[in-house]
């Protein structure tokens, strides 16, 4: 099904984030050890930055999805090759963050100075490249063409997404279709790859593999939609990074796309913020107030809820287990970050 704004949010008993991740806590600890091991290098600057990145933390959502999907597919997520591949997914994600921060001139990431602001753009570019290559070198140990096909495709799509976004920077005429295309490439395909690779490592059949792939795609869409909503509505303390920066960087996200549909007169305000790189003349509060009044925030939230429901629906094709239940609970947990 293709999610639309008319679908209600997922309603069901929820597991807390602690309990969801607790099901694979042992394996996630092994991922941390593997991250540290893979980030070691006889080149001092690589070892230092690798340790800096690992210590920066993050929720480890992508490796957790890989591990939970392996378990949901009937496999053993504590096997060394599964732990390695879960770490590969975090390496790929970290590499994209490092490169994205350079492109966006971001100064902070997870409440710490970003790699580019701490070490400079040249070092950050090369570190991102090193992370990509390390991820592929590790994945070769799996000797699986299926896995390599997925990883090469997702890396290409993420790069395409970044390039597509660059062509739209500073434009107030971004369409809903263009926005979702970028979301799919930059975020959702990696979520989908995590779940599909987990399914392959778990040894399940084609139907369950397809279900977990579809689950990851819809979950990734919901996740990024909520992330964009939080940038629009939250403060810096709640986000762990600067708030309201999407528009300052020239990125028009779904709440603004909907607002400009309802209130075309706001276009000049959007262009002014992008041009000035500040909310001095037109405040964030003004955009929030107008978006609430026009109902565009609720409309964007409904799209996120629809994708979350589509993700939960895909899991109906996965064998019942506490791990499938945990994956289902993630769909509701993501929405609660915003709603």
Instruction: Walk along the chain (339 residues) and give the pLDDT tens digit of each residue.
Output: 445 444 433 444 457 778 899 999 999 999 999 999 988 887 888 989 988 988 887 789 999 999 999 999 999 999 999 999 999 999 999 999 999 999 888 888 877 899 999 999 999 999 999 999 999 999 999 999 999 999 999 999 999 999 999 999 999 999 999 999 999 999 999 999 999 999 999 999 999 999 999 999 999 999 999 999 999 998 765 555 566 889 999 999 999 999 999 999 999 999 999 999 999 999 999 999 999 999 999 999 999 999 999 999 999 999 999 999 999 999 999 998 754
Strand, helix or coil for residue 77: coil
Locate 257 and state its tokens. Answer: 């796309």
Find out whether 89 and 60 touch, Cβ atoms under 8 Å. no
Q: Which of 263, 244, 243, 262 is nearest to 252 (CA)?
A: 244
- Cα 175 from Cα 253, distance rounded (Å): 10
Domain range annotation of the chain: 17-336
Burial of 8 (0-12, 13-18, 19+ CB in 10 A): exposed
Fold of 17-336: Farnesyl Diphosphate Synthase (1.10.600)
- Cα 281 from Cα 277, distance rounded (Å): 10
Strand, helix or coil for residue 113: strand
pTM of the full structure: 0.91
């Amino acid at each position: 099904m293709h999610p639309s704004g008319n679908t209600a949010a997922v309603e069901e008993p929820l597991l807390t984030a602690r309990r969801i991740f607790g099901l694979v806590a042992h394996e996630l600890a092994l991922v941390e050890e593997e991250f540290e091991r893979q980030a070691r290098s006889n080149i001092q600057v690589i070892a230092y930055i690798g340790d800096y990145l690992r210590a920066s933390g993050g929720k480890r959502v992508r490796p957790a999805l890989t591990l939970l999907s392996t378990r949901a597919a009937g496999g053993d997520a504590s096997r060394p090759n599964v732990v390695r591949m879960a770490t590969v997914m975090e390496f790929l994600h970290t590499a994209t963050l490092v490169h994205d921060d350079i492109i966006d001139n971001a100064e902070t990431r997870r409440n710490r100075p970003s790699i580019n602001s701490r070490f400079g753009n040249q070092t950050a570019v090369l570190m991102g490249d090193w992370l990509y290559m390390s991820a592929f070198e590790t994945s070769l140990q799996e000797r699986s063409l299926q896995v390599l096909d997925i990883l090469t495709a997702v890396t290409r799509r993420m790069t395409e997404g970044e390039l597509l976004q660059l062509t739209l920077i500073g434009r107030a005429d971004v369409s809903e279709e263009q926005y979702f295309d970028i979301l799919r490439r930059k975020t959702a395909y990696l979520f989908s790859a995590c779940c599909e690779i987990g399914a392959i490592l778990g040894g399940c059949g084609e139907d369950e593999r397809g279900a977990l792939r579809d689950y990851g795609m819809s979950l990734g869409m919901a996740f990024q939609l909520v992330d964009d909503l939080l940038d629009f509505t939250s403060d810096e303390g709640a986000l762990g990074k600067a708030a309201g920066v999407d528009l300052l960087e020239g990125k028009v996200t779904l709440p603004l796309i909907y607002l400009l549909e309802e209130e075309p007169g706001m276009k000049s305000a959007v262009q002014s913020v992008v041009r000035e790189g500040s909310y001095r003349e037109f405040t964030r509060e003004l955009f929030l107030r107008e978006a609430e009044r026009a109902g565009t925030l609720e409309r964007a939230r409904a799209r996120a809820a629809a994708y979350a429901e589509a993700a939960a629906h895909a899991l109906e094709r996965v064998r019942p287990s506490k791990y499938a239940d945990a994956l289902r609970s993630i769909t509701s947990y993501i929405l609660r970050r915003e709603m």
